[in-house]
Amino acid sequence: MSVLILFCAVVIFFCLITNKFSSKLGMPALLLFMLLGILFGEDGILKISYNNYDLTAKLCTVALLFIIFYGGFCTRNIKDKVLNFQSALLSSLGTVFTALLTTAFCYYFLKINFQESFLIGAILSSTDAASVFSILRSKKLNLKYNTASLLEIESGSNDPFAYMLTVLGLILLKGAGVESVFPMFIAQIGYGIISGILIAKAGILIYKKTDLIQEGTDTLFVVALALASYAIPDLIGGNGFLSVYITGIILGNSEIKNKINLIYFFDGITQLSQIIIFFLLGFLSTPSRIYEIFVPSILIVLFLSFIARPIAISLIMLPFRAKLNQIAFVSLAGLRGAASIVFAIFAVAESADLKFDLFHIVFFVSFISVAFQGSLLPWFAQKLDMIDEYSDVLKTFNDYQNESAITLSKTLVTNSHPWRDKKLKDIKLDNKSLILVIQRQGCKIVPKGDIKILENDLVLIGTTVTHSTSDIKLKEMEITKNHQWKNKLIKEIDFQEGFLIALIKRAGNSFVPNGDTKIVTGDIIVFYNI
């Protein structure tokens, strides 16, 4: 047992090292995890023989449910109904179209039997949100036309649909009739959606209405919710991955305590899950057998990347009058990753009589997708003119902190306080601080230069250091090239009553403005309304 524990520790340690140097090597970290698994495996340096697909499927199920939960938890609630509808079509119909086109190619061109062709198409129909957004984050690719949000929702929510298609493929492979498929689909979707909503709502109710969740136990509570949201629908015939994703979205867009800490925690869990999945993919593989499936795998990845997905994306996005460069980028951003790997392991664990080497096909397609598509994604974005210099890709996620550059403190003005009976303009503060609110006899007053501070006033001061824990809600607004405040001095702007600018973020720096500060394009205005 100790040897196994030590082995796990060594693997994680080496994966962390490879993750550290992935950007310097110009290679996606997930690819390096896969290569590390190969080095440990049968054809690698250590030559460890491992082929327990059943155990691997169980481990990868847990890992994937946390990846999908985190994907939902970090998805911001986009109020653009057209974008939401478009993303929903891409994750559902887009996944089905991609699977069917790939099935037809494998069946008619590669001469693989229909059941296994359908299984290949189903397994490879989903895209990997973690792979796509690790690249967007690391390269700070800010995309035009809300494409980052579109990709986030599509790639985060298409895994459950690919899973249902994979289950359907396994049913067909076992010779079951098509008549049993429709009830299965209804149960998968219905129980998955209902379970996800109910579990999330129950979790929020417990959070807000009870004292069950003590300080420090909130992460354990949310872990339990994630596990329950997969297990409960799965036990009654529902789609556990769909339920997990819905639970994550609802919780992530709710006002719950310590959300940022939860995101940091699940970010670590997700990274560990990715390490497990990609390492096990390499560990299970036998690269010496690649030559047997090299040609069909290359043909599948080329067809999938440049024909099947572009056709599926175009059929859905063209009716929305999407730009051609956006359609091209979304098509090329369909990286294969964790979900495809896990579903392939499921298939092998469930069906020992596969005539084609399904696992190594998915292994090679995922390898090529992450290695080449992933590495070239920044280049594609530049060549397709998809980079938006006036937006921030990090705002796509729930872990973006609007209050990350300012902390608040309160000062009670007593009888002997030096500010007592002084006008605001006569009080000297350093250039990193600003009086934001004066609370007087239960009322909140927006501070102006001629206001006199009185005894018993509670003065709220903002300082550019860390994030806020106050009940004063700060918001952000970006100054675009067409904004009405662009190139105006703050004292020239007629703000609405109760509005105050607390902070300006500019070119990576934050500062407290004064009346003579000019607002320029690209500024992030941190403000609040009373």
Number of domains the chain contains: 2
| Cα distance between residue 150 and residue 85, in whole Å | 10
Closest CA to 36 of 24, 19, 52: 19
Residues 332 and 444 in one domain: no
| Cα distance between residue 72 and residue 360, in whole Å | 29
Task: Tell me if 337 is assigned to some domain.
Answer: yes
Q: Are strands 458-463 and 475-478 parallel, antiparallel or unpaired?
A: unpaired
Q: Please identify, among 396, 421, 446, the residue that sits at the C-terminal boundary of a domain.
A: 396
23 pLDDT more than 70: no
Residues 443 and 387 in one domain: no
Q: Which residue has the higher pLDDT, 510 or 399?
A: 510
Neighbours of 364 (CB within 10 A): 21
Pure H helices in 45-158: 53-73, 81-89, 95-104, 114-123, 129-139, 147-157
320 pLDDT more than 50: yes
**Tokens at residue 35, please?**
């290569």
Task: Tell me if 402 is assigned to some domain.
Answer: no
Neighbours of 4 (CB within 10 A): 8
Instruction: Give how far the C-alpha of residue 314 lies from the chain's centroid of Cα atoms, to the nearest Å.
Output: 24
Residues 485 and 341 in one domain: no
User: pLDDT by residue (tens digit) across 117-142?
Assistant: 999 999 999 887 666 766 666 666 67
Task: Tell me if 174 is assigned to some domain.
Answer: yes
User: Going edge to edge, which strands form the sheet with 443-445?
Assistant: 407-412, 458-463, 433-440, 443-445
451 Cβ partners below 8 Å, 6+ apart? 423, 424, 438, 445
pLDDT band at 24 (very low <50, low <70, confident <90, very high): low
Closest CA to 160 of 224, 83, 238: 238
Q: Average pLDDT in the 176-186 region?
A: 72
Task: Give the pLDDT of residue 298.
Answer: 92
pLDDT band at 467 (very low <50, low <70, confident <90, very high): very low
User: pLDDT by residue (tens digit) across 154-164?
Assistant: 887 888 889 98
Task: Tell me if 501 is assigned to some domain.
Answer: yes
| Cα distance between residue 55 and residue 303, in whole Å | 32
Q: Hey, what amino acid is at 308?
A: A
User: pLDDT by residue (tens digit) across 53-104?
Assistant: 888 888 889 998 998 898 888 776 666 677 788 888 998 899 999 999 999 9
Angle of the 290-303 helix axis to the 95-104 helix axis, nearest 10: 130
Task: Give the pLDDT of residue 124.
Answer: 93
Residues 253 and 288 in one domain: yes
Highest average pLDDT, of 81-95, 103-117, 177-191, comes from 103-117
| Cα distance between residue 227 and residue 294, in whole Å | 38
Q: Which residue has the higher pLDDT, 12 or 369?
A: 369
Residues 286 and 246 in one domain: yes
Q: Hey, what amino acid is at 99?
A: A
| Cα distance between residue 40 and residue 282, in whole Å | 8
Closest CA to 201 of 179, 229, 180: 229
| Cα distance between residue 17 and residue 299, in whole Å | 34
Are the C-beta atoms of residues 465 and 500 closer than 8 Å to each other? no
| Cα distance between residue 450 and residue 264, in whole Å | 44
**Tokens at residue 57, please?**
């499927």
Residue 394, CA atoms < 13 Å, CB-side half-sphere: 9
10 pLDDT more than 60: yes
User: pLDDT by residue (tens digit) across 243-255?
Assistant: 999 999 899 888 7
40 pLDDT more than 80: yes
Highest average pLDDT, of 212-216, 326-330, 494-498, comes from 326-330
Q: What is the pLDDT of the chain when averaged over all its residues? A: 80
Q: Which residue has the higher pLDDT, 405 or 358?
A: 358
Task: Give the pLDDT of residue 155.
Answer: 80
346 pLDDT more than 50: yes
CATH code of 297's domain: 1.20.1530.20
470 pLDDT more than 80: no
Q: Please identify, among 342, 376, 396, the residue that sits at the C-terminal boundary of a domain.
A: 396
Are the C-beta atoms of residues 162 and 122 closer than 8 Å to each other? yes
Task: Tell me if 457 is assigned to some domain.
Answer: yes
Task: Give the pLDDT of residue 432.
Answer: 58
Closest CA to 110 of 358, 312, 329, 331: 358
290 Cβ partners below 8 Å, 6+ apart? 297, 360, 364
The vertex-446 CA angle with 440 and 451, nearest 5°, equals 75
Residues 365 and 448 in one domain: no
Point out the least confidently predicted range of 319-328, 383-392, 488-497. 383-392
Q: Is the dihedral of CA 487, 491, 497, 498 positive or negative?
A: positive
Residues 344 and 282 in one domain: yes
466 pLDDT more than 50: no
Residues 442 and 348 in one domain: no
Task: Give the pLDDT of residue 118.
Answer: 93
Are the C-beta atoms of residues 474 and 529 closer than 8 Å to each other? no
Domain that holds residue 516: 407-529
Task: Tell me if 9 is assigned to some domain.
Answer: yes
Q: Please identify, among 376, 396, 416, the residue that sits at the C-terminal boundary of a domain.
A: 396
Are the C-beta atoms of residues 360 and 289 closer than 8 Å to each other? yes
- Reading phi first (left if > 0) and then psi (alpha if -120 to 50, else beta), residue 258 is in left
DSSP string for residues in 472-490: S--EEEE--TT-TTTT-BG
Question: CA separation (Å) from 348 to 57, 240, 324, 332, 362?
Answer: 9, 20, 39, 28, 11
Residues 284 and 411 in one domain: no
CATH code of 456's domain: 3.30.70.1450
Residues 205 and 330 in one domain: yes
Q: How far apart are the first and last CA of the chain?
A: 60
Task: Tell me if 401 is assigned to some domain.
Answer: no
Task: Tell me if 128 is assigned to some domain.
Answer: yes
DSSP string for residues in 409-422: EEEE--TT-TTTT-
**Tokens at residue 9, please?**
């520790």
Q: Which residue has the higher pLDDT, 55 or 179?
A: 55
Which helix H or strand E contains 529, and what residues bound it? strand 524-529
| Cα distance between residue 331 and residue 151, in whole Å | 10
Residues 185 and 263 in one domain: yes
Q: Average pLDDT in the 297-313 region?
A: 93
Residues 306 and 418 in one domain: no
